[in-house]
Structure 1
Amino acid sequence: MAAPFNFGQLKFLKALTEALFHGAPMAITADQVVANIAELFAKVGGTKLDEIRLSLTATEVVLGPLFALADVAERARRIERRLQNSQIDLFQDMARLRGVIYGCYYGHWQPGIEPGDQDANAANPVHRQIGFTLPKHRVRGPGEMPLTRIDGREIDPAHILDAAALEDEYDVIVVGSGAGGAVAAYHMAHDHGYKVLVVEAGPFYPSPRINHHELDMVANLFKHGALQTSTNRDFVVFQGRCVGGSSTINNGICLRVNEAGRTHPDAVDVLDKWAGIGAPVDKVDFHKSYDAIKARLGIAKIEPRSGRHNGPHLINGWNAYAPTSGDPKDGRAIADWFAKNFGPPNTPNACAYCGYCNAGCAYGRRMGMAQTYLPDACRAGARILPGTKADKIVWQTAIDGRREAEAVKLILPDGSRALVRARVGVVVAAGTIASSKLLSRSDIDGTGYQVSLNIASPVVALMPPGVGGDAWDEDQMASYVDCGDYLLESHFQPPMAMASLMPGWFGDHAERMRNFGRVHSAGILFPADRRGRVKDGKLEFKLDAQEDLPLLRRAMATLTKVHFAAGALECYPALTKGQTVTPGMDVDAFFEDAIEEADDVTLSSSHPHGGNAINEDPQYGVVDPECRVHGTTNVLVTDASVFPTCIRVNAQWTTMAMAHYATARRDPFG
């Protein structure tokens, strides 16, 4: 494997690392941090490595001549002046390098006998510095769920193909193995009896291979190593890239688009909105699809013990805040525990709340696609081809003049190409960005437009000593508040991920991380409806200054007030400059001043949707209300890219329901 960085880049990274820790004690050397960065990007590779190299070169220019030769204090002053406090968009984008460096410090992992060896990291100096204990070494008392693995749920390795075992033709080719692809593959194989090939760009990574080495897991399980961004770099877009897709690395949150008692009564009725723009979905059948998914995945409210600190913090804070807000809408808000496809709850297989959900479940307790629909599909005869890119759909002309998929061109793991015939049809379910790219390469017009994001941003809260407990020793996301036009969601992260999202610079950031056992955290989630498009293979996305930014400010201010109502001493919203908010401040005025544009705050999304929208009229949508691509006889799209508008809530259950709706009610190719 070639080294990802040259000598000059490594030297600059070291100088930058030393400066970012100016005034803060380091438990490992700057050289070790740089080694961690190099190891991460060697695994990620591709265009993301090219981007980081370019960013390093540009940042070195911005920080001035002989930056690496200046003393550490001078380097820190330059960073503060030119990156931290800059209002220049390009410089603000460069400032995001801090997240990579801090993540690779706090994500430090000591090699052991086997990958992810927790015993070798029992005395990890970085973990010790922040008071963090790995799951294997935590003390679990009576009534606690043991941190043991549940076996027997995984895909049989015999059902995973390599290039040599690939046949020349199948009945149905499903592109993508996540929420949409897995459900479709199962129903095609089990219900309709088709010989199914599932094509997945990412690797096969079953639960026994997953471990708690965060840097290793993000490199192997996420698209672009969890560093994928929009073209303007305003948003980090998290997507899984492995067998099982994002269901392998998400938080398992299951919310319907609208549900009495679980959704704010004033929230938009999503399915009614779709019908109003020419994208009708049968409500009764769609909720039956939700029910079918719920039954297979064991979806239920999580056990309170699994979110015992951070979960009640948000609910109790909301209950203290809402009566004082003066907004009648807040009085109708829903504050509750999440329902998830973990466990299921209240069984011996329930979530063991290790806190590493976004690095995959090493304990086999997640009822993701790789533990449910994919092995089910394989038992019905489907087979999975990982590490393979679907390059293009090949067409022929049907008797009625429409296009008919004849085959799919594949790029195999070794770079060679194969043409695999689809005797019956093709299902595209690779996710909003990848599905749009595949359809565009296949000469389908109008793909990639009107992409929506549910946008998240965190606010971290420092609690008094002895209050709340260790939020890292529990399920990452436990509770939520539906405020009608946005959600508040509790969340916490293990050290690497928490360091990446923790705002602040230099000693401030280090001090906040040393208070790892005293901080609680939650995030906002607000809908940015049809603001983006996939162009030249990348996501272009820009918030509306008149509609989205005021909502962002209001949501951030509300969450900060909720933290204070729960007893927080100070709050750290995810602002580029790293400011601190205290209870005596005018919180609304603070955010009005602090957030002028998207670059002023760290924003992310795990829920890209749209781009290949449902619509009865081919002029306004790529697929019809049955999820069939307009003008074709035998190509379906069954992922979140078919959503015509932003759904406002976490997307996985609705994506699965859409795939069920499209493929289980009847044979779409029959």
Structure 2
Amino acid sequence: MAAPFGHGQLKFLKALTEALFHGAEMAISADQVVANVAELFGKVGGTKLEEMRVSLAATEFVLGPMFSEVGVATRVARIEDRLRDSQIDLFQDMGRLRGIIYACYYGHWLPGGEDQNVGNPVHRQIGFALPKFRARGPGEMPITRVEGREIDPAHILDADSLDDRYDVIVVGSGAGGAVAACNIAAQGYKVLIVEAGPFYPSPAITHHELDMIARLYKHGAVQTTTNRDFVVFQGRCVGGSSTINNGICLRVNEEGRTHPDALDVLAKWASIGAPVDRAAFDASYDAVQAKLGIARIEPRSGRHNGPHLMNGWHAYAATSADPKDARAVADWFDKNFGPSGTPNACAYCGYCNSGCAYGRRMGVAQTYLPEACRDHGARILPGTKADRILWQTAYDGRREAEAVRLVLPDGSRRIVGARVGVVVAAGTIASSKLLDRSDIDGTGYQVSLNVASPVVALMPEGVGGNAWDEDQMSSYVDCGDFLLESHFQPPMSMASLMPGWFADHAARMKNYGRVHSAGVLVPADRRGQIDDGKLKFRLDTQDDLPLLRRAMATLTKVHFAAGAIECYPALAKGQKVTPDMDIDGFFAAAIREQDDVTLSSSHPHGGNAMHENPQHGVVDPACRVHGTTNVLVTDASVFPSCIRVNAQWTTMAMAHYATGRGDPFR
């Protein structure tokens, strides 16, 4: 593999690393951090590597002449002036390079596995223990592997074993594609599932975060919007995002689980021309629940941050004058991690977002995909991009898909015929790009995000146990307009979201075991579009930004109600908040534009919206592309408006709704 960066860029990265750790003790050298950065982007490669090279050159220019030659204190002063405290959008975007540097320090991994990393110096510095070395007593779940759930490698194809024609080609193996593929294969069709990412079964997954992030995420988990204000997390592997998510399963507007004043999502869809049969959709939710064993998680799995959020909410709501707060729902998540109460339930190692190494997550790669292949003859082709759908004209004048042009792992192209039809389920961005390349008009518009941003809280000494010894996400509060969700991350991921600069960031990470964390989930409805293959997204200053400020202020107050000493919202400047401050006033001043806060989303949806009228949507209410006879879209890109909750279960239900109630091609 060629070196991803030149000598000058490596020198600049080292100088930047030394500055970002100024005043802090480093457990590994700056050279090792730079090596980790190079390894990460060497694995990611492609356009993201090119973007990183450009970003490094631009950042070096902005930080002034001879940055690598001046003293560290001078470098720090330049960073403070031009990156940390700047109000210039471009400079703020460059300032997010700090998260990559910190991730590549705290994500350091010694060669080998957990045994070889028992003495990992960075883990030792922050008091973290890998799952294998955690003490589990009576009543605890042992951290062991569950066997027998994985896809048989014999069902994974390569170019030599690929046939020239299949009945149905399904593009994408994630939540929408896997459900559709299984249902269609069960109809007796010969199904090919095309996946752009690699096949990575549970036994191949490790706790080497940097390695897993590079291999299992699109663009190594540093995919951003065009303005670089949002990081968009999407899986790129067999199983898609269901392989690297937290398993959260929420229905839209479920009684008792949703705030009673929350927007009725399906009613809104109907009002804008996209009616869905509510009873049939609920039945699709039920079918997915039965397949995945979706159930309420066990409180022991989220014993630190889970009760912290719920107890803090109850204490906060008891003093709130807003009647909506009294009607909020605070509860444990439902998940496909189990089922609960069985020997195969979640072992709460905390590494959900880098893949379950124990085969315990009932993702689509452990349920729908093995069943589709084992019982119904479907086959999976990984590492392959669907470049274009090829058309012929049907008897009634509509377009009919006859083949898909594929780009194989070696870069060669091959046309594979589709005798019956094509299903597109590659996710909001990739599905929009594929349909656009296939001459489908109107794709990629009105994309919605559930916008996430964390607030970290420092707890008093001796409160509870190690906050990292649990499931990553375990409880939530539905406040009506937004959600609060507990979370905690392994070292690399936590470091990248931990606000702060220089010695402040290091000090906060040294308190790793006694910080609690949660995030806001704010719906941003139809604000984005796919522009030249990338997501362009901007929050509305009149509606979205005030809601984001209110949500983050509320979560900060909840942390304090739970006993926090100080809070660290994910602000670009890294400020801290204390209980004696005017919290609402602080956020009003601190968040003037979206650049001022770290924002992300794991739930992009829309772009190929469902609508009865082809002038206003890409697919009809049966998820068939308007003007075609045999092309379906069965992922979250068909959602006509923001669903406001985590998208996994609803995406699977939509795929089942489109394909699980009979033959969708008849």
TM-score (norm 2): 1.00
Give unmatched runs, 5+ long, in structure 2.
Answer: none
Q: Tell me by how many angstroms 1:125 deviates.
A: 0.4
What residue in structure 1 maps to residue 621 of structure 2? 625
1:222 is aligned to: 217
Partner of 2:6: 6
**Alignment-derived partner of residue 160 in structure 1:** 156
- Equivalent residue number for residue 253 of structure 2: 258
Match of 1:635 in 2: 631
1:78 aligns to what SS in structure 2?
A: helix
Hey, what does 1:616 align to over in structure 2? 612
- Give the counterpart of 1:304 among 282, 288, 299: 299
- 5 Å-filtered alignment, 1:186-205, equals 186-190=182-186, 192-205=187-200
What is aligned with 1:339? Answer: 334
Out of 574, 581, 587, the residue aligned to residue 585 of structure 1 is 581
1:288 and 2:317 are equivalent in the alignment:
no
Distance 1:289 1:407 in 2: 29
Indicate the residue corresponding to 2:140 in structure 1: 144
Q: Deviation of residue 666 (structure 1)?
A: 1.4
Secondary structure of the corresponding residue to residue 471 of structure 1: coil
Summarize the alignment of residues 518-667 of structure 1 with structure 2, pairs less than 5 Å apart.
Answer: 518-667=514-663
- Residue in 2 aligned with 1:459? 455
Partner Cα distance (1:393, 1:156) in 2: 29
Superposed CA deviations along residues 337-389 of structure 1, whole A, max 9, x for unmatched, are 00000011110000000000000000000000100000010011000000000
Spell out, residue by residue over 1:145-184, the C-alpha distance to the aligned partner (whole angstroms, 9 max, x if none): 0000001000000000000000000000000000000000
- 1:75 is matched with 75
- In 1, the alpha carbon distance for the partners of 2:133 and 2:648 equals 32
- Corresponding position: 1:351 with 2:346: yes
Output the amino acid matched with 2:275. Answer: P
Separation in 2 of the partners of 1:469 and 1:522?
Answer: 17
In the alignment, structure 1 residue 40 sits paired with structure 2 residue 40: yes
Aligned length: 665
Q: Which amino acid is the alignment partner of residue 336 of structure 1?
A: D
Which aligned segments of 4 or more residues in structure 1 are displaced greater than 2 angstroms? none
* CA–CA distance in structure 1, aligned partners of residues 63 and 530 of structure 2: 33
Q: 2:503 is matched with which residue?
A: 507
Report the secondary structure of 2:129's partner residue.
coil
State whether structure 2 residue 364 is matched by structure 1 residue 369: yes
Q: Equivalent residues in 2 for 1:88-107 (5 A)?
A: 88-107=88-107
Aligned to 2:60: 60
> 1:75 aligns to what SS in structure 2?
helix
Alignment equivalent of 1:330, drawn from 311, 325, 328: 325
Mapped partners of 1:309, 1:603: distance in 2? 24
Distance 2:595 2:347 in 1: 37
Q: Which amino acid aligns with 1:145?
A: M
1:535 to partner: Cα distance: 1.3
User: How many Å apart are 1:223 and its aligned residue?
Assistant: 0.1
Question: Counterpart of 2:181 in structure 1: which amino acid?
Answer: A
Give the whole-Å Cα distance in 1 for the aligned partners of 2:161 and 2:649.
33
Indicate the residue corresponding to 2:266 in structure 1. 271
SS of the residue corresponding to residue 296 of structure 1 reads helix
Distance 1:80 1:23 in 2: 14
Corresponding residue SS for 1:517? helix
Secondary structure of 2:577 counterpart: coil
Paired with 1:78 and 1:614, the residues of 2 have a C-alpha distance of 50
CA drift of 1:468 comes to 2.6
Q: What SS does structure 1 have at the residue aligned with 2:68?
A: helix
Distance in 1 of aligned mates of 2:244 and 2:498? 20
SS at match of 1:481: strand
User: Which of the numbers 380, 385, 392 marks the counterpart of 2:388?
Assistant: 392
In the alignment, which residue of structure 1 is the partner of 2:179?
183
Q: Show the counterpart of 1:429.
A: 425
Between the aligned partners of 1:37 and 1:61, the Cα distance in structure 2 is 20
Amino acid at match of 1:283: R
Q: How far apart are the structure 1 equivalents of 2:661 and 2:166?
A: 22
Match of 1:120 in 2: 116
Aligned mates of 1:278, 1:640 — CA distance in 2: 17
- Deviation per CA, 1:221-263: give whole Å up to 9, x if none: 0000000000001100000000000000000000001111000
Encode CA deviations 1:118-161: one digit per residue, 9 max, x unaligned: 01110000000000000011111111100000010000000000
Mapped pair 1:486 → 2:482: yes
After TM superposition, give the deviation of residue 577 of structure 1 in Å: 0.1
Q: 1:566-613, CA deviations, whole angstroms, 9 ceiling, x for partnerless residues?
A: 000000000000000000000000000000000000000000000000
Question: CA separation in 2, counterparts of 1:588 and 1:367?
Answer: 41
Q: Distance in 2 between matches of 1:368 and 1:245?
A: 9
Q: CA deviation at 1:31?
A: 0.2
Deviations 1:192-226 (A, max 9, x none): 11000000000000000000000000000000000
SS in 2 for 1:57: helix
Task: Give me the whole-angstrom Cα distance separating, in 1, the residues matched to 2:320 and 2:455.
Answer: 19
Q: Which amino acid letter does the alignment assign opposite residue 480 of structure 2?
A: G
Read off the aligned partner of 1:292 and give its amino acid letter: A
Q: Distance in 2 between matches of 1:567 and 1:11?
A: 44
Q: Secondary structure at the match of 1:668?
A: coil
SS across alignment from 2:471: coil
Amino acid corresponding to residue 344 of structure 2 in structure 1: N
The residue type paired with residue 567 of structure 1 is G
Quick one: distance in 2 between partners of 1:301 and 1:468? 23
Structure 1 distance, partners of 2:483, 2:660, is 31
Residue type of the alignment partner of 2:30? A
What is the CA–CA distance in structure 2 between the aligned matches of 1:162 and 1:346, rounded to whole Å?
A: 39
> The residue matched to 1:41 in structure 2 has which SS?
helix
Deviation of the 1:46 alpha carbon: 0.6
Structure 2 distance, partners of 1:66, 1:429, is 49
SS of 1:129's partner is: helix
Matches of 2:499 and 2:293, distance apart in 1: 36
Secondary structure of 1:69's aligned partner: coil
Cα distance, 1:470 vs. partner?
Answer: 1.2
Is 1:413 matched up with 2:409?
yes
Aligned partner of residue 665 in structure 1, secondary structure: coil
CA RMSD of aligned residues (A): 0.4
CA displacement, residues 489-518 of structure 1 (integer Å, 9 cap, x when unaligned):
000000000000000000000000000011
How far off its partner does 1:81 sit?
1.1
C-alpha separation between the residues in 1 aligned to 2:466 and 2:54? Answer: 39
What is the CA–CA distance in structure 1 between the aligned matches of 2:178 and 2:362, rounded to whole Å? Answer: 13
Give CA deviations for 1:323-345 in whole Å, capped at 9, x if unaligned. Answer: 21210000000000000000111
Q: What's the secondary structure of 1:378's corresponding residue?
A: helix
